């Protein structure tokens, strides 16, 4: 480990001490018994189980992201009730017997959500639940009391999410477009658009998916569009490009799904927190990721703006004298199968970072981020990450510069709003 990395780890450790409330460290294993699930381990175990269930159905990961958020909020409400947390619940704060197990409450809450969301996977879910509950280090009475709280909390959250559109058909909200500026299916697969239904899903903490919708993308005959076109055409092309090796590495680092990357980052930061703090941190952080995703999809399918791979091949049709067509142009990274504006990676990243700035009360803090193929980069400020993530989408050839900037502004608004309006302290 380098000197810089060692110093970084010391800073992060200090940051966790500040961010975590003094609820006590995770319990140690007792003689002959496995270590009991505690703290973020319980939350992560079931949060990741929900993701795995979505992949096994299978369903598109963004739909599963909504289900995961429901589970995280149910676990928070359960833990908040058992530990008498001084926070407003998402849906309810069930009465809890003194000494009830918070771990059992969280497990039961997630279990109820999993059974509701994946009814064809009940055998797998039941087996996982039995193993989780068996590992809880508490008396049978404490476990039973925790189970009652978790079940009540989960059913209340599920009731609050009835008719939220999370189960709408994939292509609801999509009308094919044509002509200059309009998104059409992109090579190489020319697949149907990804998840247009998301534009109608009710966010977490507010009701209108279009609440933060940005202005329209630049006109095709504008200077902004011409500048963006020529930057992406050069730096984002697969070959014969001015892109450097480091710029290529940055594009690849940020290439996996933004929701998966940022959800994992939220979990990594919660790993040293006590159970109540971690439950709130993960619920808010995952909700910020999901709300940013919903806001982005509202804008994408409202404006239906074309991708560079479409636009550059048809540059002679856009009415702009400064955009020369290249019929053979190919992006460095394969273009995702949804409209271009705004950039999802910067919207979702900024949504998470907006939450972080509220939680840590600063826009400068150390952050280790794991990207493509397990590579890790170390950052010290929100602005540094915004720049890296935005550049990556241009250098990968998937986006225009303006779209990354609009996405950053959009995500920041969504993340900060989520952080200041959901699961608030009771005295706030």
- Quick: pLDDT tens for 103-162: 999 999 999 999 999 999 999 999 999 999 999 999 999 999 999 999 999 999 999 999
**Across 325-384, where does the E strand assignment appear?**
367-370, 376-379
Of the candidates 181, 70, 168, 63, the one whose C-alpha atom is nearest the C-alpha of residue 115 is 70
360, two tokens: 């840590």
Residues 6+ apart with CB under 8 A from 377: 253, 368, 369, 371, 388
Are the C-beta atoms of 143 and 37 separated by less than 8 Å? no
Q: How far apart are CA 114 and CA 277, in angstroms?
A: 23
Q: How far apart are CA 380 and CA 390, in angstroms?
A: 17
pLDDT tens for each residue of 9-52 = 333 333 333 333 322 223 333 333 334 446 678 999 999 999 99
pLDDT recorded at residue 40: 76
The rounded percent of the chain whose pLDDT value lies above 90 is 90
pLDDT (average), residues 71-95: 98
Which single residue is written with the structure tokens 């540059």? 315
pLDDT tens for each residue of 374-392 = 999 999 999 999 999 999 9
The domain 37-160 is placed in CATH, from the list 1.20.144.10, 2.60.120.620, 3.30.565.10, 3.40.50.150, at: 1.20.144.10
pLDDT recorded at residue 409: 98
> Which run of H or E residues covers position 50?
helix 40-56
Of the candidates 348, 338, 336, 331, the one whose C-alpha atom is nearest the C-alpha of residue 394 is 331
CB atoms under 10 Å from CB of 167, counted, come to 13
Q: What share of the chain is helix, strand, coil (3-state, %, to 5)?
A: 55, 5, 40
Residues 6+ apart with CB under 8 A from 343: 390, 393, 398, 399, 403, 404, 406, 407
pLDDT tens for each residue of 313-325 = 999 999 999 999 9
> Of 76 and 27, which is predicted with more confidence?
76
pLDDT recorded at residue 307: 98
pLDDT recorded at residue 42: 92
Is residue 249 predicted with pLDDT exceeding 50?
yes
Could you tell me the CA-to-CA distances from 99 to 94, 142, 312 in Å, in that order?
14, 6, 64
* Phi, psi (deg, nearest 5) at residue 237: -75, 155
pLDDT tens for each residue of 188-245 = 999 999 999 999 999 999 999 999 999 999 999 999 999 999 999 999 999 999 999 9
What size, in residues, is the chain?
428
Is residue 309 predicted with pLDDT exceeding 80?
yes
Q: How far apart are CA 417 and CA 204, in angstroms?
A: 11
The rounded percent of the chain whose pLDDT value lies above 70 is 91
Is residue 3 predicted with pLDDT exceeding 50?
no
Tell me if the bond preceding 402 is cis, omega within 30° of 0. no
User: Could you tell me the residue ranges of all domains in the chain?
Assistant: 37-160, 196-421
| b/e code 53-74 from CB counts within 10 Å (16+ = b) | bbeeeebebbbbbbbbbbbbbb
> Which run of H or E residues covers position 226?
helix 223-235
pLDDT tens for each residue of 340-378 = 999 999 999 999 999 999 999 999 999 999 999 999 999
Residues 6+ apart with CB under 8 A from 136: 36, 37, 101, 103, 104, 107, 143, 146
Q: How far apart are CA 222 and CA 319, in angstroms?
A: 10
Would you state the CATH architecture of domain 196-421?
Orthogonal Bundle (1.10)
């Amino acid at each position: 480990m380098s000197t810089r990395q060692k110093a970084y780890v010391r800073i992060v450790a200090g940051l966790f001490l500040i961010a975590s409330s003094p609820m006590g460290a995770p319990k140690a294993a007792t003689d002959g018994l496995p270590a009991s699930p505690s703290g973020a381990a319980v939350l992560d175990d079931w949060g990741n189980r929900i993701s795995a269930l979505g992949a096994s159905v299978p369903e598109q990961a963004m739909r599963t992201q909504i289900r995961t958020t429901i589970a995280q909020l149910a676990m928070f409400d359960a833990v908040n009730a058992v530990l008498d947390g001084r926070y407003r619940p998402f849906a309810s704060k069930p009465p809890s017997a003194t000494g009830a197990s918070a771990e059992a409450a969280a497990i039961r809450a997630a279990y109820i959500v999993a059974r509701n969301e994946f009814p064809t996977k009940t055998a797998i879910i039941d087996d996982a639940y039995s193993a989780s509950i068996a590992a809880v280090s508490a008396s049978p009475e404490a476990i039973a009391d925790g189970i009652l709280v978790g079940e009540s909390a989960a059913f209340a959250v599920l009731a609050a999410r009835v008719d939220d559109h999370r189960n709408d058909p994939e292509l609801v909200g999509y009308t094919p477009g044509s002509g200059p500026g309009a998104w059409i299916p992109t090579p190489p697969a020319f697949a149907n658009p990804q998840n247009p239904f998301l534009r109608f899903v009710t966010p977490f903490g507010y009701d209108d998916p279009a609440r933060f919708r940005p202005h329209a993308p630049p006109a095709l005959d504008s200077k902004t569009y011409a500048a963006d076109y020529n930057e992406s055409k050069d730096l984002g092309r697969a070959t014969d490009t001015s892109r450097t090796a480091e710029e290529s590495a940055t594009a690849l680092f940020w290439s996996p799904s933004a929701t998966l990357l940022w959800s994992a980052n939220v979990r990594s930061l919660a790993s040293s927190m006590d159970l109540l703090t971690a439950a709130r941190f993960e619920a808010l952080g995952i909700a910020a990721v999901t709300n940013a995703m919903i806001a982005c999809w509202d804008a994408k399918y409202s404006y239906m703006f074309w991708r560079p791979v479409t636009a550059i091949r048809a540059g002679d049709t856009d009415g702009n004298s400064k955009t020369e067509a290249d019929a053979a142009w190919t992006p460095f990274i394969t273009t995702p199968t949804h409209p271009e504006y705004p950039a999802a990676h910067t919207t979702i990243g900024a949504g998470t970072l907006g939450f972080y700035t509220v939680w840590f009360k600063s826009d400068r803090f150390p952050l280790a981020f794991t990207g493509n193929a397990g590579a890790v980069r170390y950052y010290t400020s929100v602005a540094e990450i915004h720049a890296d993530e935005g550049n990556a989408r241009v250098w990968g050839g998937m986006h225009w510069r303006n779209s990354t900037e609009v996405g950053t502004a959009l995500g920041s608004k969504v993340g900060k709003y989520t952080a200041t309006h959901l699961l608030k302290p009771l005295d706030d």
